[in-house]
């Protein structure tokens, strides 16, 4: 389950925010927000995508680097809400 | 009354008649006496054609001895010279000559047909003197021969406030604007160069910049004031670091002056370790920021020389200077200051309203003094905007450049006033992002622009070329920037190219980048 979510989120980030990037470079622990790969608008887009695709709601305080900075963290957050 | 710009050359020709005045690789050289005589013939022809004190005369020639002789002939006739870029579209050059109503133009035969057609389209009345070819002064001599014998005319000594030349720069309106420099402006600058760089008749100056670029004023007029030799560098050679390095060695160039971009290439690809450039004693650069890593490489390959960072817009020519103390420290990444204001000028830093700002704060550098232009040709409104007048009635030229006086009397360039953007409420200096990008080992060239964006307010795009064709991934660049720049300064896009587009004066062409962005 987690692996499926991770793959889907990874695909979304690559397509939306890293066009042309080698998927191998987007590792599970790569910081996304603190490197500027996801800026505030991109982060917002990601949150909207996650809510729509998985039918979940993210609280305002969850849309930050503590919860969304890496693929691992995003996956854990989404998987936790889907239980 | 101060002497006109050409007077120092005339005197040098009397003192050093047999010295080599100008060298043109592959096309021989000309002595001071010969150059003086050839430029006298140009003066005579121009006067015979009705050119008088206060007129403008254009020249549309590749870099050659013919051009230097033409330049002095025009000055001797009392007119101002208007050099145009031989590589620019003929329509632009015709516009320039029509705009400042040149009476006569010296034009190379191969450029003539399209130029004439453009002049006609504008309805411009310009008498064209066609040089059948150029090189070594022989094309000019042939044109003078075919024009017949003109009676000897008197060399005019215009007053200090008479125009010596008009240099056209790109204007924000899309049409080039003519920067008017007087004899007094030019001579004050040339004299300042004499004081600081102490040239002698033994020196050999590079002439890398084209004649329509203000760097050429130093090359040509300082060199020929002192009995030194001027080594002309053709456009092709000027872009090729290998050939340039070879020329510096073979021609025993002792004083080099160019924009930093070509020196960066010479440092990296000029194979300097294997060449004897021992005659070189002074390296001058101006026009843009010299990336420190390339400057370090250059100074390591060429130690024991004096290096000066010169700064100034065409409107003032050089107005500040900074001598770089060697070695360049290993850990230095910040660009060098632009330094102190030249002794023939005064500077101050002001806010948007023209009020001087406290020391240590950023503001716009303003310059006054003998070197500052008279204004833009036939553009009274733009001229008025370019200056502000203080409470004592002194006219200050607004450079549009933001600086900070971080040590007393020593300025550091922060960027263009118009290159400062606000992003997420923060002030973002695009030049600072460029400096950060240059620290990446794979980055050869970096230029950053900001474009309006509906979502983000402004988007920052970095245009890059990679050393040896390297193209690091987007993730790699984002990570790298995040280690050096605040988040709000990390570019949104990284656009890689084989080379970044350049203007005719070899600076990065930001206008073109904006079109690409």
Together in a domain, B392 and B481: no
Nearest CB to B482 within list A22, A26, A35: A35
Asked if the Cβ–Cβ distance from B475 to A39 is below 8 Å, we say no
Q: Using 50, 70 and 90 to split pLDDT, how confident is the model at B201?
A: very high
The per-residue pLDDT for range B94-145, each reduced to its tens digit, is 999 999 999 999 999 999 999 999 999 999 999 999 999 999 999 999 999 9
Q: Rounded to an integer, what distance in angstroms lies between the CA atom of residue B72 and that of residue B86?
A: 19
In a domain, B157, yes or no: yes
* pLDDT tens profile B272-292: 999 999 999 999 999 878 889
How far apart are the CA of B485 and the nearest CA of chain A, in angstroms? Answer: 10
Chain B residues with CB under 8 Å of A36 CB are 478, 481-482, 487, 490
A37 touching B, CB under 8 A? yes
CATH of the domain at B90: 3.40.50.12780
CA–CA separation, A12 vs A42, rounded Å?
A: 11
Q: What is the CATH number of the domain that holds B444?
A: 3.30.300.30
- The residues, any chain, with a CB within 8 Å of residue B497's CB and separated by 6 or more, are B463, B464, B465
A25 contact B CB<8A: yes
Minimal Cβ distance to B473: which of A25, A39, A41 = A25
Assess A76–B contact: CB distance below 8 Å, yes or no: no
| Residue from B45, B27, B293 nearest B147 by CA | B45
- Chain B CA closest to residue A26: B475
In whole numbers, what is the pLDDT of chain B averaged over residues? 92
b/e string for B92-128 if b means 16 or more Cβ within 10 A? bbbbbbbbbebbbbbbbeebbeebbebbeeeebebeb
DSSP-based three-state secondary structure for B165:
strand
| A contact test, residue of B475, B481, B488 with most A CBs within 10 A | B475
Provide the pairing of β-strand B375-376 with B177-182: antiparallel
| For chain A, the helix, strand and coil percentages under 3-state DSSP, each to the nearest 5 | 65, 0, 35
Cis omega before residue B327 (within 30°)? yes
Q: Which of B186, B207, B238 is the last residue of a domain?
A: B238
Q: Which pLDDT does position B455 carry in this prediction? A: 63
Domain coverage including residue A41: 2-82
pLDDT over threshold 90, residue B411: yes
Same structural domain, B405 and B448: no
Interface probe for A, chosen from B478, B485, B493 (most Cβ of A below 10 Å), is: B478
**In chain B, how many domains are there?**
3
Distance CA B458, CA B452 (A): 4
| CB pairs A-B closer than 8 Å | 37
Distance CA B41, CA B219 (A): 23
**Interface list for B 465-484 with A (CB within 8 A):** 473-476, 478-479, 481-482
CB atoms within 10 A of CB B271: 13
Structure token digits, residue B319: 């107005």
The alpha carbon of B232 is separated from its chain's Cα centroid by a whole number of angstroms, namely 15
Alpha helices in B53-89 (DSSP H): 65-76
Where does a domain end: B238, B258, B291?
B238
Weakest mean pLDDT among B297-311, B377-391, B484-498: B484-498
How many folded domains does chain A comprise? 1
Domain of A48, CATH number, reads 1.10.1200.10
- H runs (alpha helix) in B123-228: 138-147, 183-197, 215-217, 223-225
**Residue B82: beta bridge partners?**
B58
Instruction: For residues B218 and B352, state if they share a domain.
Output: no
Smallest CA-to-CA distance from B417 within B401, B399, B396, B435 is with: B401
Residue B33: its pLDDT value, please?
Answer: 98
Which residues 6+ apart lie within 8 Å of B95 measured at CB? B118, B122, B175, B176
Measured between alpha carbons, how far is B22 from B206 in angstroms, rounded to an integer?
A: 10
Q: Which residues of B touch A18 (CB under 8 A)?
A: 474-475
Instruction: Say if residue B411 is in the same domain as residue B448.
Output: no
Calpha distance B30→B18 (Å, rounded): 9
In this structure, the answer to whether residues B211 and B96 fall within a common structural domain is: yes
User: In chain A, whose CA is at the least distance from the CA of B455?
Assistant: A41
Per the structure, the complete domain to which residue B359 belongs is given by: 342-415
């Amino acid at each position: 389950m987690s692996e499926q979510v991770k793959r889907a989120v990874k695909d979304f980030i690559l397509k939306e925010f890293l066009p042309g990037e080698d998927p191998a470079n987007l590792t599970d622990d790569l910081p996304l927000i603190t490197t500027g790969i996801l800026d505030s608008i991109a982060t917002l887009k990601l949150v909207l995508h996650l809510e729509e695709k998985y039918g979940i709601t993210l609280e305002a305080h969850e849309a930050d680097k503590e919860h969304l900075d890496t693929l691992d963290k995003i996956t854990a957050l989404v998987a936790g809400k889907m239980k | 009354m101060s002497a006109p710009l050409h007077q120092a050359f005339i005197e040098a020709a009397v003192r050093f008649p047999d010295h080599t005045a100008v060298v043109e690789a592959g096309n021989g050289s000309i002595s001071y006496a010969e150059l003086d005589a050839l430029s006298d013939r140009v003066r005579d022809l121009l006067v015979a054609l009705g050119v008088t004190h206060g007129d403008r005369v254009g020249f549309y020639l590749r870099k050659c001895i013919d051009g230097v002789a033409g330049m002095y002939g025009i000055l001797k006739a009392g007119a101002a010279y208007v050099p145009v870029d031989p590589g620019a579209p003929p329509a632009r050059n015709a516009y320039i000559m029509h705009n400042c109503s040149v009476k006569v133009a010296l034009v190379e035969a191969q450029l003539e047909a399209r130029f004439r057609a453009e002049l006609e389209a504008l309805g411009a009345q310009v008498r064209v003197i066609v040089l059948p070819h150029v090189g070594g002064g022989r094309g000019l001599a042939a044109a003078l021969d075919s024009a017949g014998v003109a009676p000897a005319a008197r060399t005019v000594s215009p007053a200090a406030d008479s125009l010596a030349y008009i240099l056209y720069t790109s204007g924000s309106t899309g049409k080039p604007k003519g920067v008017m420099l007087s004899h007094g402006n030019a001579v004050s600058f040339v004299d300042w160069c004499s004081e600081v760089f102490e040239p002698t008749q033994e020196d050999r100056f590079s002439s890398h910049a084209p004649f329509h670029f203000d760097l050429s004023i130093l090359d040509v007029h300082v060199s020929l004031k002192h009995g030194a030799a001027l080594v002309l560098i053709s456009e092709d050679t000027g872009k090729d670091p290998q050939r340039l390095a070879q020329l510096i060695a073979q021609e025993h160039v002792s004083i080099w002056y160019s924009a930093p971009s070509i020196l960066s290439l010479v440092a990296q690809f000029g194979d300097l370790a294997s060449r004897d450039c021992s005659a070189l004693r002074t390296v001058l650069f101006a026009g843009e920021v010299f990336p420190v890593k390339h400057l370090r490489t250059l100074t390591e390959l060429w130690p024991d020389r004096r290096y000066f960072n010169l700064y100034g817009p065409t409107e003032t020519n050089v107005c500040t200077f900074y001598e770089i103390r060697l070695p360049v420290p290993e850990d230095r990444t910040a660009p060098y200051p632009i330094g102190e204001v030249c002794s023939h000028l005064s500077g101050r830093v002001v806010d948007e309203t023209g009020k001087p700002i406290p020391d240590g704060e950023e503001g716009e550098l303003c310059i006054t003094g003998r070197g500052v232009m008279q204004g833009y040709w036939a553009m009274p409104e733009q001229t008025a905007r370019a200056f502000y007048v203080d409470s004592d009635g002194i006219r200050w030229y607004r450079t549009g450049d933001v600086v900070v006086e971080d040590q007393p009397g020593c300025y550091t360039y922060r960027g263009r006033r118009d290159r400062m953007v606000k992003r997420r409420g923060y002030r973002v200096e695009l030049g600072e992002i460029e400096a950060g990008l240059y620290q990446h080992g794979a980055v050869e060239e970096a230029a950053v622009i900001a474009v309006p964006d509906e979502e983000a307010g402004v988007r920052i795009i970095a245009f890059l070329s990679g050393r040896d064709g390297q193209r690091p991934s987007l993730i790699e660049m984002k990570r790298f920037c995040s280690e050096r720049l605040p988040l709000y300064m990390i570019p949104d896009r990284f656009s890689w190219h084989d080379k970044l587009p350049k203007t005719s004066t070899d600076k990065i062409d930001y206008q073109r980048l904006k079109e690409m962005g």
